[in-house]
């Protein structure tokens, strides 16, 4: 069953006076759906599960509400990226013993550091601050923003909590190198990435990403037809941006897509694409795509309206 | 370029006085998108391409209109399945020399036959009727219905044009055995399938499908959790049916899905599924799914509210 059991959720739903509930889970938690739905059904609720792929709170199954199938959507695993009174967010909290942070300390050069993390660990920020303070560090943590409402929280598409620290050295606590690489580009700070599950720390630089992206821009120079990808997901839909980019080249056309997959880009057959959906698609998935997929800023460089020196990582604000 | 060139479409759009156009293509025709969109853009239209997978007129990109990105949707490759004044349908006509039908004639037992075909060949129905008449056949062709508006047209989810002939022997002209198998089940008539491209004819029976489906129902008997798949596609959304089926078993929960893929069913982890989306998904794709995917009628059999003797093929009306 769900971490806190279904009884808390049932109480919450009863307090809201709702009778029909939609449930949405990210892929890794979808297996919870059958049991939780069954519990809610037994408790007298009308239940519907959103089965489509889901990778973030930027992709809310709002059609379940707009079509009257549910009064409320319970979205698991993520914090909100925009205000939605009809959605209950149930983030997924992953615990760890903050004393593992000691493995990151030798890599820090100064005593004045910015601290950021991802939604799963955001509840541990105060404990991490205490730990760092007890080891002589002055830790700066930014307050939440509309897209990253938790203190110190960053997303793969929003590094505002890193920039707002103003720190010249930033400690990122979470898995993978995508977030810290983005933070390095967005802040120009020195970035230490610490994985609290494996207990390993490393300094992360954006150099390798920049080299790869420069090569992708080069490959796109020959493109005659350009598909400007416009997401249909609630929190990834950047229509004004897509329209502005489509105005930069005669062969550029807006293409709406729900899931940006190698198959769909191949079927559509454009010579190159510009991604205004989830920014990670261009940066992380290029190896899976047969054609260059540029970020908005990279397309501006290609079209000569931005200098390479002004390269910036794509964020959704 | 598109079969008839872009100039006909441009004239049609100008006559309608529209300025913003959305284009939607089935997978096999998506490669037309870049050139056609470029032509329309050069002619002064605002253009947007729907890039999501599309397999029929049951899946219209109506969000392009409801969100104000386009005044009209041009949907290529299919005839309408429901009335939509905001959509221009441009079916894809595939020609063949009707004299190839002579290869089908030896398999026909009587002189009184029903004639049905798919959207690509529906424009050839009058020529086929003349050919058959000149060879001594009395041909019955049903008029269109709301879901299959062309004379003699069948879909994989609607065999109304076959049933309406009342014929005891039916000639299906088109590719594959799915349509003729469905016709055999829906009409109990003798069905000859003729592929006009390969020029081959065969008698089709539903026996093998029934054996396979009986085995799938058997596998589903152990299922504790049941996902009732409810499509979010415009012409596949059978909400009342899904709700009725969810009421047949305590462990049954409605799951909304846009694309019903093996990955999504695996991630969701239900013991078995009932498919109220495109009927072909259950019949054609079972081999790709790790769990039983039943048709609505098969689930009724499993739940004891329908007898095996009343097995019926699933159609969308």
Pair (A162, A248) in one structural domain? no
Is the model's pLDDT at A76 over the cut of 80? Answer: yes
Taking the Cβ of residue A53 and every Cβ of chain B, the question of whether any pair is shorter than 8 Å is answered with: yes
ipTM given for this complex? 0.90
Domain termination site, one of A61, A90, A119: A90
Phi/psi of residue A207, nearest 5 degrees: -55, -45
Coil vs helix vs strand at B169: strand
Shortest alpha-carbon distance between residue B172 and chain A (Å): 30
Taking the Cβ of residue B219 and every Cβ of chain A, the question of whether any pair is shorter than 8 Å is answered with: no
Pair (B122, B192) in one structural domain? yes
Taking the Cβ of residue A48 and every Cβ of chain B, the question of whether any pair is shorter than 8 Å is answered with: yes
Taking the Cβ of residue A77 and every Cβ of chain B, the question of whether any pair is shorter than 8 Å is answered with: no
Taking the Cβ of residue A119 and every Cβ of chain B, the question of whether any pair is shorter than 8 Å is answered with: no
Spatial CA neighbour of B256 closest among A55, A13, A242, A64: A64
Locate B209 and state its tokens.
């499908």
Q: What is the mean pLDDT of residues B246-269?
A: 96
Q: What is the mean pLDDT of residues A279-303?
A: 96
Residue B1 pLDDT grade (very low, low, confident, very high; cuts 50, 70, 90): very low
Q: Which of B31, B44, B47, B51 to mutate to test the interface with A (most CBs of A within 10 A)?
A: B51
Q: What is the mean pLDDT of residues A289-304?
A: 98
Q: Give the list of residues 6+ apart from residue B14 with CB closer than 8 angstroms, or none.
A: none
Give Rg (Cα) of chain B. Answer: 21
**Between chains, do A27 and B253 touch, taking CB under 8 Å as contact?**
no
Residue A5 pLDDT grade (very low, low, confident, very high; cuts 50, 70, 90): low
Is B250 a member of any domain? yes
Domain count, chain B: 3
Q: Which of residues 253-272 of A touch B (CB under 8 A)?
A: 253-259, 264, 267-271
Q: B32: domain CATH number?
A: 3.40.50.11840
Is the model's pLDDT at B3 over the cut of 80? Answer: no
**Between chains, do A253 and B30 touch, taking CB under 8 Å as contact?**
no
The chain A residue lying nearest B240, using CA atoms, is A69
Lowest mean pLDDT among A277-291, B5-19, B262-276: B5-19
- CA A248 to chain centroid: 27
Q: Which of A1, A65, A239, A253 to mutate to test the interface with B (most CBs of B within 10 A)?
A: A253
How far is it, in rounded angstroms, from Cα A62 to Cα A28? 20
pLDDT for B6 equals 82
pLDDT in tens, A90-123: 988 999 999 999 999 999 999 999 999 999 999 9
The 8-class DSSP code of residue B155 comes to B
Is A12 a member of any domain? yes
Is B276 a member of any domain? yes
How far is it, in rounded angstroms, from Cα A200 to Cα A92? 22
How far is it, in rounded angstroms, from Cα B315 to Cα A205? 57
Number of Cβ pairs < 8 A linking chain A and chain B: 134
Shortest alpha-carbon distance between residue A96 and chain B (Å): 26
Pair (B136, B162) in one structural domain? yes
Which positions in chain B touch A34 (Cβ < 8 Å)? 225, 227, 251, 253, 268-271
**Between chains, do B48 and A230 touch, taking CB under 8 Å as contact?**
yes
Taking the Cβ of residue B240 and every Cβ of chain A, the question of whether any pair is shorter than 8 Å is answered with: no
Pair (B104, B194) in one structural domain? yes
Is the model's pLDDT at B2 over the cut of 90? Answer: no
Q: Of the candidates B37, B253, B259, which has its C-beta nearest A41's C-beta?
A: B253
Do β-strands B169-173 and B138-140 pair in parallel, antiparallel, or remain unpaired?
unpaired
Residue B310 pLDDT grade (very low, low, confident, very high; cuts 50, 70, 90): very high
Shortest alpha-carbon distance between residue B242 and chain A (Å): 10
| Order of strands across the sheet that contains A138-140 | A138-140, A112-117, A169-173, A190-195, A200-204
Is A283 a member of any domain? yes
Coil vs helix vs strand at B49: strand
Taking the Cβ of residue A66 and every Cβ of chain B, the question of whether any pair is shorter than 8 Å is answered with: no
Which positions in chain B touch A254 (Cβ < 8 Å)? 47-49, 69
Taking the Cβ of residue B162 and every Cβ of chain A, the question of whether any pair is shorter than 8 Å is answered with: no
Pair (A10, A85) in one structural domain? yes
CB atoms within 10 A of CB B93: 13
Q: Which domain holds residue B122?
A: 98-204
pLDDT in tens, A171-230: 999 999 999 999 999 999 999 999 999 999 999 999 999 999 999 999 999 999 999 999
What is the torsion angle, in degrees rounded to the nearest 10, for the CA atoms of residue A103, residue A104, residue A109 and residue A111?
Answer: -100
Domain termination site, one of A90, A107, A132: A90
Q: Is the dihedral of CA B91, B92, B96, B101 positive or negative?
A: negative
What are the residue ranges of helices labelled H in chain B? 5-16, 33-42, 63-66, 125-134, 160-163, 178-187, 207-220, 239-246, 262-268, 280-285, 296-302
Name the average pLDDT for chain A.
95
Pair (A181, A272) in one structural domain? no
Pair (B200, B224) in one structural domain? no
Do β-strands A20-24 and A72-76 pair in parallel, antiparallel, or remain unpaired?
parallel
User: Is the whole model's pTM more than 0.95, yes or no?
Assistant: no
The chain B residue lying nearest A259, using CA atoms, is B52
**Between chains, do B31 and A268 touch, taking CB under 8 Å as contact?**
yes
Render the burial of A301-314: b for 16+ CB within 10 Å, e for the rest: bbeeebeeeebebb
Spatial CA neighbour of A175 closest among A150, A211, A200: A200
Pair (B243, B174) in one structural domain? no
How far is it, in rounded angstroms, from Cα A68 to Cα B66? 17
pLDDT for B5 equals 64
The chain A residue lying nearest B45, using CA atoms, is A253
Is B316 a member of any domain? no
Q: Which of A20, A31, A34, A228 to mutate to test the interface with B (most CBs of B within 10 A)?
A: A34
pLDDT for A1 equals 39
pLDDT in tens, B11-52: 999 999 999 999 999 999 999 999 999 999 999 999 999 999
Pair (B22, B46) in one structural domain? yes
Is A236 a member of any domain? yes
Is the model's pLDDT at A2 over the cut of 60? Answer: no
pLDDT for A83 equals 85
Q: A296: domain CATH number?
A: 3.40.50.11860
Q: B163: domain CATH number?
A: 3.40.50.11850
Spatial CA neighbour of B260 closest among A281, A85, A184, A51: A51
Q: Give the list of residues 6+ apart from residue B11 with CB closer than 8 angstroms, or none.
A: none
Is B118 a member of any domain? yes
Pair (B76, B26) in one structural domain? yes
Residues B214, B258 contacting (CB under 8 angstroms) = no
Q: Of the candidates A34, A53, A267, which has its C-beta nearest B264's C-beta?
A: A53
Taking the Cβ of residue B107 and every Cβ of chain A, the question of whether any pair is shorter than 8 Å is answered with: no
Pair (A190, A113) in one structural domain? yes
**Between chains, do B51 and A268 touch, taking CB under 8 Å as contact?**
yes
Is B1 a member of any domain? no
Pair (A81, A110) in one structural domain? no
Is the model's pLDDT at A73 over the cut of 50? Answer: yes
Is the model's pLDDT at A265 over the cut of 50? Answer: yes
Name the average pLDDT for chain B.
95
**Between chains, do B253 and A37 touch, taking CB under 8 Å as contact?**
yes
Spatial CA neighbour of B37 closest among A178, A224, A282, A184: A224
Domain termination site, one of A40, A74, A90: A90
pLDDT in tens, B93-149: 999 999 999 999 999 999 999 999 999 999 999 999 999 999 999 999 999 999 999
Which positions in chain B touch A248 (Cβ < 8 Å)? none
Taking the Cβ of residue A30 and every Cβ of chain B, the question of whether any pair is shorter than 8 Å is answered with: yes
Which positions in chain B touch A268 (Cβ < 8 Å)? 30-31, 33-34, 49, 51
Taking the Cβ of residue B115 and every Cβ of chain A, the question of whether any pair is shorter than 8 Å is answered with: no
pLDDT for A4 equals 53
């Amino acid at each position: 069953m769900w971490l806190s059991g279904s009884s808390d959720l049932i109480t919450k739903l009863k307090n809201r006076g709702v009778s029909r509930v939609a449930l949405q889970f990210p892929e890794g938690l979808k297996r919870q759906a059958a049991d939780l739905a069954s519990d809610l059904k037994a408790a007298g609720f009308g239940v519907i599960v959103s089965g489509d792929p889901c990778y973030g709170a930027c992709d809310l199954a709002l059609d379940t509400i707009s079509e009257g199938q549910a009064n409320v959507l319970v979205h698991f695993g993520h914090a909100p990226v925009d205000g939605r009174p009809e959605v209950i967010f149930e983030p997924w909290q992953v615990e760890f013993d903050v004393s593992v942070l000691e493995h990151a300390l030798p890599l820090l050069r100064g005593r004045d550091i910015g601290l950021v993390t991802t939604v799963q660990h955001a509840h541990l920020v105060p404990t991490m601050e205490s730990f760092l303070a007890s080891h002589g560090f002055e830790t700066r943590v930014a307050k939440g923003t509309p897209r990253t409402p938790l203190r110190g929280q960053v997303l793969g598409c929003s590094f505002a909590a890193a920039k707002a620290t103003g720190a010249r050295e930033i400690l990122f606590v979470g898995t993978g190198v995508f977030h810290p690489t983005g933070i390095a580009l967005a802040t120009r700070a020195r970035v230490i990435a610490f994985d609290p599950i494996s207990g390993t720390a490393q300094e992360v630089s954006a150099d390798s990403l920049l080299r790869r992206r420069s090569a992708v821009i080069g490959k796109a120079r020959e493109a005659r037809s350009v598909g400007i990808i416009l997401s249909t997901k609630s929190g990834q839909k950047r229509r004004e941006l897509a329209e502005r980019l489509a105005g930069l080249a005669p062969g550029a056309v807006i293409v709406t897509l729900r899931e940006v997959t190698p198959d769909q880009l191949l079927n559509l057959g454009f010579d190159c694409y510009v991604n205004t959906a989830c920014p990670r698609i261009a940066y992380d998935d290029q190896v899976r795509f047969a054609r260059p997929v540029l970020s908005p800023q990279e397309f501006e460089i290609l079209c000569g309206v931005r200098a390479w020196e002004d390269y910036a990582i794509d964020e959704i604000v």
